[in-house]
Amino acid sequence: MGDDLSAYREARDLEETGEPEGDEGGASSSDGSLFVVQEHAASTHHWDFRLEVDGVLRSWSVPKGPSTDPSDRRLAIPTEDHPLEYADFEGVIPEDEYGGGEVIVWDRGRYELLGGEEEGKPATLAGQLEEGHATFALHGEKLRGGYALQRFDADEDEERWLLVKMDDEEADARRDPVSTEPESVLSGETVDSLAEKAVGEGGGEADDGA
């Protein structure tokens, strides 16, 4: 495929974490413009914001999660590209593995690029991201309307972005879906309910002594 998922694969032991290997050719429903937000109750709780670009999920870790209020500027820290199949992943990653903690699909849908060539911007999301300013509309169950990702340089080594709701008819400063809509759009689970189930199942695999 030529997609470079080596950073993804090197960071984790996929047999231990149960996460997808990224060799199955993508999520079945993908049409090239998938977005997904996964809530991840790792040691530092965050929301992973992912956009399909050229066959992989470009990814940012958003510590406070996405907002529907245009006055909020949410820090978004780039992380390694993930395989498309990751958009289907929910589960409990063992605590001692990279990214340990519960993961749910908090929102998912299609995105639509905004501001193409006629507005003097690159006509692809990859091109806009390269320039450090991307605008797109989300068509999710919780997140809708225009969003912008803006790159800024925190220092010479660390790239940082801001995820900001654009001021359109879907903007709503009173909504706070990160707090009030915690359920997975796939399963209805929350990170807390997954954690409780994991405890109920014994919290992990038994030692079979083999």
* Euclidean distance between CA atoms 43 and 169, whole angstroms: 36
**Nearest residue (CB) to Mn ion, 40 versus 58:** 40
Structure tokens at 69: 């209020």
Tell the smallest beta-carbon distance from residue 209 to Mn ion (Å).
33
* Euclidean distance between CA atoms 72 and 38, whole angstroms: 20
Among 35, 37, 40, 145, binds Mn ion (CB under 5 A): 40
Among 19, 39, 48, 102, binds Mn ion (CB under 5 A): 48
* Euclidean distance between CA atoms 132 and 164, whole angstroms: 14
**Nearest residue (CB) to Mn ion, 72 versus 80:** 80
Contact 64, 82 (CB under 8 A): no
**Nearest residue (CB) to Mn ion, 48 versus 52:** 48
Residue with tokens 């066959």: 55
* Total of residues contacting Mn ion (CB under 5 A): 2
**Nearest residue (CB) to Mn ion, 59 versus 128:** 59
Contact 46, 62 (CB under 8 A): yes
Q: Is 74 in the site for Mn ion (CB under 5 A)?
A: no
- Collapsing DSSP to helix, strand or coil, 29 comes out as coil
Residues of the shown chain interacting with Mn ion in the complex, contacts defined by CB under 5 A: 40, 48
